[in-house]
Amino acid sequence: MAQITLHGDATNTNGELPQVGSQAPDFVLTTGDLADVTLESYAGKKKLLNIVPSLDTPTCQLSTKKFNDAAKQHEDTVFLTVSADLPFAQGRFCQAENLEVIQSLSTMRSNFSEDYGIKIIDGPLAGVTGRAVVVLDEGNKVIHSELVGEIGDEPNYDSALATL
């Protein structure tokens, strides 16, 4: 279990993020057209997972926009924003913000948050994910793993992008 904060108040996740050097757990996440994707769907590519509680919050929106901009410089990498939002809401946000490079994926019918040790288990945001960035190489080995300590803070973009 990891401890993070929400406006300075302690809250906990169900486990720990996958550590650098480990194999990433497989996942099933849902795309905007309600198709399920897994790690195999992105075989042979590096993957940056921008894990956010909800695209309805300013920090989640900001990190998604920043990673969308960065993705334009990394054609060998897929940038995936993972949230608890329904695919329809994710699609509206991405369309309104002209975010065409990142792919938004919903946890709506998966155990992603539990399998990645990022599910908040207490406090007002119980049930959604904490904020994290996990970068995987082409073989799904974790090459960067960051759990953001304060949910309202942005991740360390430079550190995550440097691993690409």
- β pairing state of 142-147 and 46-51: unpaired
Residue type, 159: S
CA distances from 141 to 22, 82, 116, 144 (A): 6, 18, 14, 9
Q: Reply yes or no on whether 94 is catalytic.
A: no
The C-alpha angle 145, 79, 85, rounded to 5 degrees, equals 90
Catalytic residue among 24, 49, 60, 161: 60
Distance CA 71, CA 146 (A): 18
Q: Catalytic residue positions?
A: 60
